[in-house]
Amino acid sequence: MTTILAFLFVLGVLVFVHELGHFVAARRIGVRVLTFSLGFGPKLISTKRGDTEYAISAIPLGGYVKMAGESVDDPRSGAPDEFLSKTKWQRFQVLIMGPVMNIVLAVVVMAIVLAQGAEVPAFHDAPPVIGSVKAGSPAQRAGLRHGDLVLTVDETPVATWDKFDIEIGTKPNRDIDLTFLRDGTTQSTTLHSSAEGKYEVGDIGVFPNAVPIVASLIKGDIAEKAGLKPGDLLLAVNGEPMTQPTQLTEAISKSPGKQTDILVKRNGEEMHITVVPEKRGDRGMIGIYFGQQTKSFKPGPLEAIQLSIQRNVEFGGLIFKTLGGLFVGTTSPRQLMGPVAIAQLSGESAAAGWIALFTLMASISLNLGLLNLMPIPVLDGGHILIMALEGIARRDFSAQVKEKMLLAGFVLILLLMVTVIYNDLTRISWIERLMPWRN
């Protein structure tokens, strides 16, 4: 139930804001609006005020604003309050305002989220210096190692781990050219990335230098008795550098009953602490909970808006890059999500709290706004394209020509919907088991 309610909330807000943009722009230039509907299909609830019927319809996967004289097939009287009676510039304003409202919503919601502050990984904005390399990974096969500083990914500079992760994540199952700095010398290599998870995110098997930190201790257990304290950085175990919490878990687990030397950094000073892990079940344990170093992030209102704009610009570039990759074959179609996946993410985000849910809403709103600007007939961008072509030709196209263009756009959108819904279904384990070609 949480998943359904969260999905309806997210989608309802996004659709309402989008259609509100069209509605307000139409009314502002004097176009008569016949219907404002959230959802498609049979109307469940409706009321009429003035010339406009406001409705909630049965299929909650979109919405529409129906304007008088909107298409060449509509009955037209030539009245000045009909859509096609307006100039191309006025019609452009009506068409563009839906996507613009979604983009504005993304900026506003993201600014609200950022203004709450957060604890972020300390390495997030640090240069991508490799802390460790996964055994058997593409990076290990290519010869990458601890201490290498990655400079570019396919000639794109990556100044931080965040940018590195984005570049690698959007390139699953393909050859990638890397340049990196080792011992003061710039070197290059080519490796073939893997695809991880149900969304097939690109991965090469490298990790940042995220030294584990003691989060808490079990009172009276081995670690506390040995002198470890919350906040201690755990630099090494038996001389082996620790760059990931998983490394520390493995090092302690495989040493039950053995004296184990832990190099600790506390208040800027290094010290050695000896522990003897106790065998509990099938592994050694010392009674410690640990995590990664983080830093506080709490912008003011103006800074939150600036950061929101910056992040939305970056995410927008990533969206266009992903779409471009689909056309040239460098992006996996598995990275596309449809309504089922969005519903799942909405439920998961709602369970994690309102900040996670609003972050998801901002992301989807940006996607919705930018995708609607694509020059595909039936989308807002497609209608704008048709008007632009008519302007260049200095004549309006015939109804037959427009119908053919809209049909082509509809077929393209239909193929896209089939793809994303198929992707969504294959991410549900019990449905995937019913697909013999997937097993």
For 147-178, write each residue's pLDDT tens digit: 999 999 999 999 999 899 988 988 888 899 99
User: pTM for the whole thing?
Assistant: 0.76
- Cβ–Cβ under 8 Å, residues 252 and 222: no
| Residues forming CATH 2.30.42.10 domain(s) in the chain | 212-292
Share of the chain above pLDDT 70, in %: 92
Judged against a pLDDT cut of 90, whether residue 144 lies above it is answered with yes
- Cβ–Cβ under 8 Å, residues 413 and 378: yes
Question: How does the average pLDDT of the chain come out, rounded?
Answer: 87
Helix spans in 278-335 (H): 301-328
Helices (H) and strands (E) in the chain, counts: 12, 20
Bridging pattern class, strands 130-133 and 206-208: antiparallel
- Helix, strand or coil for residue 78? coil
Judged against a pLDDT cut of 80, whether residue 213 lies above it is answered with yes
The per-residue pLDDT for 246 is 83
Pairwise CA distance, residues 267 & 159, whole Å: 29
Pairwise CA distance, residues 173 & 178, whole Å: 15
pLDDT band with cut points at 50, 70 and 90 for residue 354 = confident
* pLDDT tens digits for range 37-58: 999 889 999 999 998 999 999 8
Q: Which residues are catalytic?
A: 19
- Helix, strand or coil for residue 407? helix
The per-residue pLDDT for 332 is 66
Judged against a pLDDT cut of 70, whether residue 430 lies above it is answered with no
Question: Taking residues 208-227, what's their average pLDDT?
Answer: 89
Q: Domain 212-292, what fold?
A: Pdz3 Domain (2.30.42)
